[in-house]
Amino acid sequence: MYDGDVLAGNWRRPGKGKIPKVPAEPDLVVEDADSGFCGAVVACDKEAVTLEDRFGRRRLFPLAPAAFLLEGRPVTLVRPAPAAAPAGPRRSASGSIAVEGLRARVARESRIYVEGVHDAALVEKIWGHDLRVEGVVVEYLEGVDHLPDIVAEFGPEPGRRLGVLVDHLVPGSKESRIAAEITSPDVLVVGHPFVDIWQAVKPSVLRIPAWPEVPRGVPWKEGVIAALGWRVEPADAWRRILGAVSTFTDLEPELLGRVEELIDFVTETSS
């Protein structure tokens, strides 16, 4: 098969010649020098390589020095280098270009308010990088009923703006009536149609067909948990939901657009 005896002359002894190192890339065909087993590389880790012969049989071999023959010549197989990162700028979870080596900007006077701690956690997970770049702090209302008092205490004015994200901001709702009381041009109240921020997470992310319909009079979170059969407390359910979210693509567009709108509003500078 080869010219001469490739094992003749003790080719493994020191000083016989430098044995080349070859990355064990998938489909590379080599022969184990000791057993004669010949096959294509199908897997490789830091300690061993798996070869598959033409009959589909697989064997595992250690990545020992000069343990293989490639086209009749001794080689040392090594683990392939990891794939290079894709070219282009890194993106944050919100899809914006990430600022490398970011140090958070000194906080602006302007603020964004959301209804509760779950809303704040979701906004931080997706837009946290952007908010630190812009120096915007997110706080929560602990319920939309407190909105008029918070606006009055905040004292919005040019350069000191307030953006507010409200759950279930639909015509005729309590939330829409409270939002209508806010008339300052330095306050922007926007909202999404979902009963709770949980619904802003796409069902497919949680591997459920849809968010359950909860009968009127039943606490929404508890009703959802029962319908899904999770048998956990709301705090644990939320951790499961938030843990499934990694980028803006996991959220419904009705929320995405509103948060971006608020960030633009509170960071806008007068010309």
CATH number at residue 65: 2.30.30
- CA dist 210 and 199 (Å) reads 9
Is residue 98 in a domain? no
Range of the domain at 57: 1-84
Tell whether 62 and 151 lie within a shared domain: no
Tell whether 19 and 126 lie within a shared domain: no
Tell whether 161 and 253 lie within a shared domain: yes
Is residue 40 in a domain? yes
Rg (CA), the chain: 30
Tell me which of 69, 84, 99 is where a domain ends. 84
Q: What percent of the chain has pLDDT over 70?
A: 89
- Count of the separate structural domains present in the chain: 2
Tell whether 147 and 189 lie within a shared domain: yes
pLDDT band at 237 (very low <50, low <70, confident <90, very high): very high
Tell whether 253 and 189 lie within a shared domain: yes
pLDDT value of residue 206? 92
* pLDDT above 60: residue 114: yes
pLDDT band at 99 (very low <50, low <70, confident <90, very high): confident
pLDDT tens sequence across 15-51: 456 899 999 998 899 999 999 999 999 888 888 899 9
CATH number, domain of 140, equals 3.40.50
pLDDT value of residue 165? 96
Is residue 72 in a domain? yes
Is residue 105 in a domain? no
Tell whether 115 and 249 lie within a shared domain: yes
Is residue 46 in a domain? yes
Tell whether 65 and 127 lie within a shared domain: no
pLDDT tens sequence across 53-64: 888 788 989 998
pLDDT band at 205 (very low <50, low <70, confident <90, very high): very high
Order of all β-strands in the sheet with 187-191: 137-140, 111-114, 162-166, 187-191
Tell whether 35 and 167 lie within a shared domain: no
Residue type, 151: V
Tell whether 62 and 130 lie within a shared domain: no
Is residue 66 in a domain? yes
* pLDDT above 70: residue 9: no
Q: What percent of the chain has pLDDT over 90?
A: 62
Buried b (16+ CB within 10 A) or exposed e, 94-128: bebeeeeeeeeeeeeebbbbbbeebbbbbbbbbbb
Tell whether 115 and 23 lie within a shared domain: no
- CA dist 221 and 51 (Å) reads 53
Print the SS3 string covering 91-133.
Answer: ECCCCCECCCCCCCCCCCCCEEEECCHHHHHHHHHHHHHHHHH
Is residue 92 in a domain? no
Tell whether 70 and 118 lie within a shared domain: no
Is residue 228 in a domain? no
pLDDT value of residue 24? 92
pLDDT value of residue 18? 86
Tell whether 22 and 74 lie within a shared domain: yes
pLDDT value of residue 162? 96
